Structure 1
Amino acid sequence: MGMTLTPIGPVTNPLPSRMPRREPYLRIEWIDEITAAKGYLVVDKLVRGMATGGTRMRAGCTASEVADLARGMTNKTVAFDLPVGGAKGGIDFDPKDPRAKGVLTRFCDAMRPYLDNHWVTAEDLGVSQQSIDEVFAGLGMRQSFHAAIERSATPAATAERVAAGLNASAPGGLLGDVIGGYGVAQAALAAARVRDWTLGETEIAVQGVGTMGGAAAYYLHEAGAKVVALADATGTLYDPSGLEVPALLESRNRFGEIDRGIVGPGVQVLEREAVLGLSCDVLIPAAVSYALTLDNCEDVRASIVVEAANAATTPDAELSLAARGVAVLPDFIANAGAVAWAWWLLLGDVGEDYRDSFGRLAAVMRSKVTSLLTEWNPAEGPVRWAAEVDTRVDAGESLVIP
């Protein structure tokens, strides 16, 4: 396998920002000797010797994309007062390819010095938590939170506590799988309250029904909102009277695709990208980065966009939407529930009772979104600018895990 520490070039699609730009702490490019797949690790910032961020796999994943995502992770950790910096892993490979697990295993093996000591990773687009945990176990590491767990005075006990939390039952699935989507749902619900919308009449469209988008749609439906559209890789399902979300999600295959055989006669089956332009109050892009671009953002008819996917909106699209008065809740707020919860779990602030985790995350998300949207002035730029945090200050002492 090959690995270089040479620069991988400037970020070509930086998120709009008014903060001073800075270079990431570390950028690595890796090439798989067997498949020629390329992988990237970007550590945007180390805080107390640690950085956190998932590992994604998709055909076409780029170095600049991973750098954008790593910077977003730093924003999340600061916005949610987590004692770590931000990082991200990415592999340019089709996750449906039967060789994908081998590629992921070799990538993680190559990144072992960072996974042992500095980088806590987890699931992301194209990589499930179960699959990455299996890879870690096969490499002799306890779990994908390995670097943090090994800092504990009692690693075995900490690993057991983390596993109990990740695998705890919650409405809608395992707590570790659904907590991120629950946070997105809470962000959307908070936005609806700020706008004083009647919940049962609030129409929501969700692009992507994987771990994040599926859970967000489930909890919004359970809260009483009207989920009018769900889009997966094969198309968009649309019903202005509201979809039967739980049944549709239950029919998904292992690639997150809904079984069209159970779709009712009143549901319209549209093109995949149609979800972005449907009439609704809230649009939740939860599939891929850069889903909303300058070329398609004029199609958006929602008044609020909640970024469940990382970097779901390109900078020029975000500026264009703000000029139209469309609020884009940025990813480092809206979808930060998963990373915030993971570190609450690692630090012992929450455990395996989902009610504690849901209660804490709902309260934090409600407070942040309400404050942002109440004070936001579209004439001053995107919501992202109002939400930005200063990521330049490091905490010096080493992180201690109880």
Structure 2
Amino acid sequence: MPVAVPAPPAERTTTREPYLRLHWKDDITGARGFLVVDTLVGGLATGGTRMRAGCTLGEVEDLARGMTRKTAAFDLPVGGAKGGIDFDPKDPRAVEVLSRFCEAMRPFLDRHWVTAEDLGVPQHLIDEVFAGLGMRQSYHAAIERSGDPAATAARIFRGLTAEVPGGLLGDVIGGYGVAQACLAAAYVRGWDVGRTTVAVQGVGTMGGAAAWYLHEAGMTVVAVADAAGTLYDPAGLDIPALLATRDRFGEIDRAAVPARVQCLGREEIIGMDVDVLVPAAVSYAITADNCASVTAPIVVEAANAATTIDAELDLTARGIAVLPDFVANAGAVAWAWWLILGEVDDQPGTSFLRLSREMTAKVSDLLTRWTPADGPVRWTADVSHLVREVPPVVVP
């Protein structure tokens, strides 16, 4: 039976203006780009740069606001920002567009904005662009604050490129955090991990790593979706084998898919009969138009802003818990700053252990004290309205 969801507290209905909005237009292609600094803490803000056709200023604002929540949720000494470019990342001119965008944003990238990979922009690519512009790496603004920038940059490079099961540590750590959030949710609900089923929308950096580590932990990943459609096997998919066939755009080679696996429509992933649904592809994947098809009792937002506000209210009224992105997928930014600050190094075990402990504690606390009558889980977890006084960042 649906439950009555209370109105949101006043501080969550008031739209706070971001610290800074910047618009950019590429003279060559006509591509438009945006930088939104939602909050500046200690002179710094952090958030990735995405590229997709149709990216809007409103989308980038939402994402920047989410970064503020992430940094607050994990008590990081930095504010939230986001960059976005309205351009197709598959276009052969995409790298040049990204380079010109970063060149235009150079004053902020030099001193105030620490960026990284996001949708359509892998980490190795943005690092190459930074190198071409004479900056060490996309964490440039933080690196230059250190006492020994060369040593700090070397530590960051070793951490990002450390080889781990499933790929490179810098590529998989965010998905590992999502997997830990799913496992913690199953534990709170008292589910047997081996009998818990999961569907993952998106098999790029975040979704692919989440699926890989969930499979490794023993959960049954019965469905994954990419741009070409949904792959479904009720007995469980061979996730490592499927991921090994991905192209550079994160799409699985259908010629390598076993005959027993059903090939369904791309949108069917949302309505899969599973215990945990992980939207890990694009923002606003679950909307008022499709949320009625969601039956999974737990939704874990691996993509930023994966669920619209109205859809989240509907799901909550039906007793479905939506673990918000600023907790569930914040492992990547939390780990990046632990690495920048020297709190973890290039030893993967240290990073995995710390992220597992922190993610498990946060998700367990949220779900243990949450009921649908309280409103969406994000209201319980929301920290964006908190004013934080933190000292300036000191990078060793």
The TM tier, using the shorter chain, reads over 0.9
| Residues 150-209 of structure 1: CA deviation (Å, up to 9, x unaligned) | 000100010001001000111111000000000000000000001111111101000000
The amino acid that maps onto 1:149 is: I
Where in structure 2 are the equivalents of 1:323-342 lying within 5 Å? 323-342=317-336
Aligned partner of 2:286 among 284, 288, 292: 292
Report SS of the residue matched to 1:60: coil
Q: What residue in structure 2 maps to residue 9 of structure 1? A: none
Q: Once the 2 structures are TM-superposed, how far is the Cα of residue 269 of structure 1 from its aligned partner?
A: 0.1
Count residues in correspondence: 388
Q: Once the 2 structures are TM-superposed, how far is the Cα of residue 396 of structure 1 from its aligned partner?
A: 5.8
Aligned partner of 1:272 among 259, 266, 271: 266
Where in structure 2 are the equivalents of 1:48-59 lying within 5 Å? 48-59=42-53
Pairing 1:100–2:122 present:
no
Aligned partner of 1:163 among 138, 145, 157: 157
Q: Once the 2 structures are TM-superposed, how far is the Cα of residue 392 of structure 1 from its aligned partner?
A: 4.3
Report SS of the residue matched to 1:86: strand
Q: What residue in structure 2 maps to residue 231 of structure 1? A: 225
Q: Once the 2 structures are TM-superposed, how far is the Cα of residue 395 of structure 1 from its aligned partner?
A: 3.0
Where in structure 2 are the equivalents of 1:1-400 lying within 5 Å? 18-19=11-12, 20-395=14-389, 397-400=391-394
CA distance in 2: counterparts of 1:376 and 1:396, whole angstroms: 29
| Residues 308-359 of structure 1: CA deviation (Å, up to 9, x unaligned) | 0000000000000000000000000000000000000000000011000000
The amino acid that maps onto 2:151 is: A
CA distance in 2: counterparts of 1:395 and 1:48, whole angstroms: 9
The amino acid that maps onto 2:288 is: L
Report SS of the residue matched to 2:343: coil
CA distance in 1: counterparts of 2:156 and 2:202, whole angstroms: 28
Report SS of the residue matched to 1:190: helix
Q: What residue in structure 1 maps to residue 3 of structure 2? A: none
Q: What residue in structure 2 maps to residue 5 of structure 1? A: none
Q: What residue in structure 2 maps to residue 3 of structure 1? A: none
Q: What residue in structure 1 maps to residue 5 of structure 2? A: none
Farther off after superposition, 155-164 or 391-400: 391-400
CA distance in 2: counterparts of 1:39 and 1:74, whole angstroms: 20
Farther off after superposition, 265-274 or 135-144: 265-274
Report if aligned partners of 1:341, 1:357 keep a CA contact under 8 Å in 2. yes
The amino acid that maps onto 2:241 is: A
Report SS of the residue matched to 1:220: helix
Report if aligned partners of 2:175, 2:210 keep a CA contact under 8 Å in 1. yes
CA distance in 2: counterparts of 1:344 and 1:145, whole angstroms: 12
CA distance in 2: counterparts of 1:24 and 1:224, whole angstroms: 42
Q: What residue in structure 2 maps to residue 7 of structure 1? A: none
Gaps of 5+ in 2: 1-7
Q: Once the 2 structures are TM-superposed, how far is the Cα of residue 398 of structure 1 from its aligned partner?
A: 2.6
CA distance in 2: counterparts of 1:43 and 1:216, whole angstroms: 28
The amino acid that maps onto 1:283 is: L
Report SS of the residue matched to 1:40: strand
Q: Once the 2 structures are TM-superposed, how far is the Cα of residue 68 of structure 1 from its aligned partner?
A: 0.2
Report if aligned partners of 2:45, 2:79 keep a CA contact under 8 Å in 1. yes
Q: Over the residues paired in the alignment, what is the CA RMSD in angstroms?
A: 1.2
CA distance in 2: counterparts of 1:113 and 1:380, whole angstroms: 44
Q: Once the 2 structures are TM-superposed, how far is the Cα of residue 74 of structure 1 from its aligned partner?
A: 0.2
Report if aligned partners of 1:48, 1:394 keep a CA contact under 8 Å in 2. no
| Residues 31-76 of structure 1: CA deviation (Å, up to 9, x unaligned) | 0000000000000000000000000000000000000000000000
Relative to structure 1, the CA distance from residue 237 to residue 288 in structure 2 (aligned partners, 3 Å threshold; closer, same or farther) is: same
Report if aligned partners of 1:304, 1:327 keep a CA contact under 8 Å in 2. yes
Report SS of the residue matched to 1:206: strand
Q: Give structure 1 regions of 4+ aligned residues with deviation exceeding 4 angstroms.
A: 15-18
CA distance in 1: counterparts of 2:226 and 2:302, whole angstroms: 14
